[in-house]
Amino acid sequence: MDLTNSVTIVGDEPLCGGSFCDVYIGELKWNSSGAQTTVAMKQIRVFCDCTDSNRAKGWTWFHREAKIWSKLRHPFILLFFGCARFGEYQLFLISPWAARGNCLDYLDKNSSASRPHIVSQVADALEYLHSGQAPVGYVHGDLKGDNVLISDGGDALLCDFGLSHDVFAFGCLVIQIFMGEKPYRSLTEPQVIGAIMTGVKLGRPMEISVVAARLDDDLWELVNQCLDHQAMLRPSMAEVAQRLKKHQLHPDS
């Protein structure tokens, strides 16, 4: 949906961004009544670069992201409103504004929030993407804490979609959600690759705060299975989601 005539950017500077995009806050007018909704406006940064190769990459990414996102319907996947274009190279993807931010910032400010609850919701969204329930055959390709937002009701909202999938990345995300930092943080990139390839297991985090957040034996076993260095031995996302739902219902079983 083209929202160019219905959306305006609020402020001159992006509120956040990554290596590829900047995210602005905006206001979307839905109809002639003047009712407005606060939205996130994601702009591809490479369009500011004058090289043809970068612009071509930007166009490819933009159209792929819009095509994938527009067809996804799941309670734990961020809704896609449409696109907007201002000038030749200012292209935006429009979505609801998640005022509570990403899951890592949210959990840092809300220590009583249920981490298993958020982890289970992310797994549910990934199962939807992996299983073919989604109308497109794509799954999440950049899974990390920054790409899991939190709704006003405290639910997980998966955002940013790509072409690859990896249960290993989900295991890393679980550790990041419970500990507030990525696994293998003390290792260089070559050391991380070496550790993964040789099957070096991560040490069980035993901090009181982590234990209190319910990273129990069952959940830690599941994380280790997701992080198995042999991809064929990792569980499917369907199995992961099922086990997490059971864990939610029977946390002490």
Tell me how far apart the alpha carbons of residues 183 and 196 are, in angstroms, rounded to a whole number.
11
Q: Which domains does the chain have, with CATH numbers?
A: 7-96 (3.30.200.20), 103-249 (1.10.510.10)
The pLDDT of residue 82: 93
Mean of pLDDT over the chain:
80
Helix axis angle, 167-179 to 217-226, nearest 10°: 140
* Residue 80 in this model has a pLDDT that exceeds 70: yes
Q: Which residue has the higher pLDDT, 83 or 178?
A: 83
The pLDDT of residue 216: 82
Chain center to CA of 144: 6
Q: What is the mean pLDDT of residues 131-141?
A: 57
> Each residue of 201-242: pLDDT tens digit?
666 666 656 655 677 888 888 988 998 888 889 999 899 999
What pTM did the predictor assign?
0.81
* Residue 49 in this model has a pLDDT that exceeds 60: no
Name, in order, each residue with C-beta under 8 angstroms of 119's C-beta and a sequence gap of 6 or more.
173, 174, 177, 219, 244
The pLDDT of residue 41: 93
